[in-house]
Amino acid sequence: MNILVTGGLGYIGSHTCVELLEHGYNVIVIDNLSNSKIEVKDYIKTITGKDINFVEGDVCNKQTVEHVFATYPVDAVIHFAAYKAVGESVHKPIAYYQNNLMSTLTLCEVMSKHNCKKFVFSSSATVYGDPKQVPIDETCEVGATTNPYGTSKVMNEQILQDVYISDPTWDVVLLRYFNPIGAHHSGLIGESPVGIPNNIMPYIAMVANKELPELHVFGNDYDTPDGTGVRDYIHVVDLAKGHVKALDYMTRQKVGVDAINLGTGNGYSVLELVQAFEKDNHIAVPYVIDPRREGDIAVCYAATDKAKDVLNWVAKKDIHDMVKDSWKFKMGLQGVVHEEN
Ligand code: WQD
């Protein structure tokens, strides 16, 4: 099967390309390199021994997407390409809605024309907003989002639902990620955002590497055991494997539209994450307590029953794998080669 992966050189996209290639899929990637690096293509080859078919371009550009479908016989699409910084989205709503919505609309239009109607969408736990209950299951209300990033994910889910209603020969899986962190054990691919990271894990790695003076912990007055925010961190390789399972699901049966959480079901506070990083990597992460960050919620972690029942998928890596692999990737970026432990 030929899978088109949009944003396939990005953090989650590249790890998913590795898993797809290792499971025998042919992979086509379209990526405009706005938040990824072309050398990731070579790292994917080093890890898997296989090439991807790469097209540099913007998924919002209809001619580019037409070119991809005219060149390759695409059987299914996994759509990662999107802007994804919560804080940034509050200041740049037009750019976020334009990019995150037009990309999906352009894909659906061209896919329909080429009779390609299997769509895996990179959604997010942010669609749940501030949950009324935890763990969060897929029947929980969506839509009460607190930022344009999360709202664009809700809108995309609605677009795909309406596309299915208009043509029930479509199959759509909405994968709602909790907090992806970590990196491939090779240390070759991982999360390396441009500039100062918005997300906590790359920020911690930069502090540990003395590129930044200290971590700013956004609030310690939440109703949690140590007062800091609790999240369901999931290893990016487990997340990538969930996408292969979603394709298997769509291949073996009629799906319609199905939303599935990808999380571990375990919540860790900011300070617990910091302590795990320090202990497992034998390195200090100095921090200061700051006021809460606008738009943050206190607690968010997944109910994982549906992913197990429907996809036969369970996250296997724990917080220790996540913090060790994150640091190994960071050291790899510094040219420090690690012996396999
Ligand atoms: C995690 C915790 C912060 C930074 C968002 C998106 C989600 C996904 C991941 C893309 C919170 C605290 C953070 C810092 C801190 N996006 N924190 N200091 O906001 O849970 O989720 O990013 O894939 O869809 O919603 O992730 O890593 O920003 O924050 O104290 O410098 O760390 O308050 O409790 P978040 P995050």
Mean pLDDT across the chain, nearest whole number? 95
Per-residue model confidence as pLDDT tens digits over 145-187: 988 999 999 999 999 999 999 999 999 999 999 999 999 999 9
Q: Which residues lie closer than 8 Å to 22 by C-beta, 6 or more apart?
A: 48
Closest atom of ligand 1 to 228 CA is: 34
Give distance in angstroms: CA of 3 to centre of ligand 1.
Answer: 30
CA distances from 263 to 30, 134, 158, 307, 308 (A): 26, 12, 22, 9, 11
Residues annotated as catalytic (active site), given as ranges: 149
Answer whether 268's CB lies under 8 Å from 231's CB.
yes
Q: Which residues pair with 230 in a beta bridge?
A: 269, 299
Give the residue among 231, 306, 300 at the shortest CA–CA distance from 261.
306
Low-confidence winner among 212-221, 296-305, 328-337 (lowest mean pLDDT): 328-337
Task: Provide the Cα torsion 166, 161, 2, 250; round to 10°.
Answer: -100
Is the per-residue pLDDT at 337 higher than 70? no
Ligand 1 pocket, 203 CB below 6 A? Answer: yes
Instruction: Report the separation in Å between the CA atom of 218 and the middle of ligand 1, taken as the mean of its atom positions.
Output: 10
* This prediction's pTM: 0.96
Nearest CA to ligand 1 atom 25: 126
Q: What percentage of the chain carries pLDDT values higher than 90? A: 91
Residue bearing the CA closest to ligand 1, atom 13? 200
pLDDT tens digit string along 81-131? 999 988 889 899 999 999 999 999 999 999 999 999 999 999 999 999 999
d(CA 229, CA 218): 8
235 — alpha (psi -120 to 50), left (phi > 0) or beta? beta
Return the pLDDT at 86: 83
Cα-to-centroid distance, 204 and ligand 1 (Å): 12
**Look-up of token digits 């007055």:** 221
pLDDT category of residue 294 using cuts at 50, 70 and 90 = confident
Most confident of 20-24, 87-91, 140-144: 20-24
